Amino acid sequence: PNQAPEVELARLPGVGPALAGRIVRSREAEGLFRNVDELVRVQGVGPATMDRLRPFLEVEAAPLITSPATSVGSLIGTPPPVASPLAPLPGGGVFPGAGWEGGQEERVAVNRASREELQRLPGVGPALAARIEDDRLRNGAYQTPDDLLRVPGIGPATLSRLRDRIQLP
């Protein structure tokens, strides 16, 4: 549930498009799920739904860098593919963090990054990446990390996870 896009969550038994949307919005607003049972924080997920979903879901420690493409296989425990630590797309929106060999994550230049690059940030899925891109086009470049608070779905908790992973002018 931490990596899957809305369309893939909707394929799970008992989920459907509306509940999948609520799961993604909860993930974006409140942060990643630490375990499968945290899905009960989503309206519409009760004990019966959890019983149907539990065999299909696994929550693991979030990888440092994942491919934005996620398959249903990743929902049931197959680890997602890992991208190269230096995988900038044309236009250069991704940079290695200082001391990559030391285990630090890459930084994403939010003012230049594509939607796919934005999805490399923790807790940023396709919907939130689209909102960041739309806000950037409407309101101009981000000057400080706090400027991201104007994006619907980014609150103080999400921003605190992003601060060390974003590159600004």
For the chain, which residues make up each domain, given as ranges?
6-75, 94-167
Is the distance from CB of 103 to CB of 117 less than 8 angstroms?
no
Separation CA 21–CA 96 (nearest Å):
32
| 3-class secondary-structure state, position 151 | coil
pLDDT band at 151, cuts 50/70/90? very high
What pLDDT was estimated at residue 105? 61
**How far apart are alpha carbons 140 and 61 in whole angstroms?**
34
Q: pTM of the entire structure?
A: 0.43
pLDDT band for 62, please (50, 70, 90 cuts). Answer: very low
CATH class for the region spanning 6-75: mainly alpha
Task: Name the CATH code of domain 94-167 (choices 1.10.3720.10, 3.30.470.20, 3.40.462.10, 1.10.150.320).
Answer: 1.10.150.320
Are residues 27 and 33 in contact, defined by beta-carbon separation less than 8 angstroms?
yes
| 85-137 pLDDT per residue, tens | 333 334 445 544 443 344 456 789 999 999 899 999 988 989 999 999 999 98
Task: Classify residue 110 by burial, with Cβ atoms within 10 Å: 0-12, 13-18, 19+.
Answer: buried
Higher-confidence residue of 80 and 147: namely 147
Domains 6-75 and 94-167 fall in the same CATH topology? yes
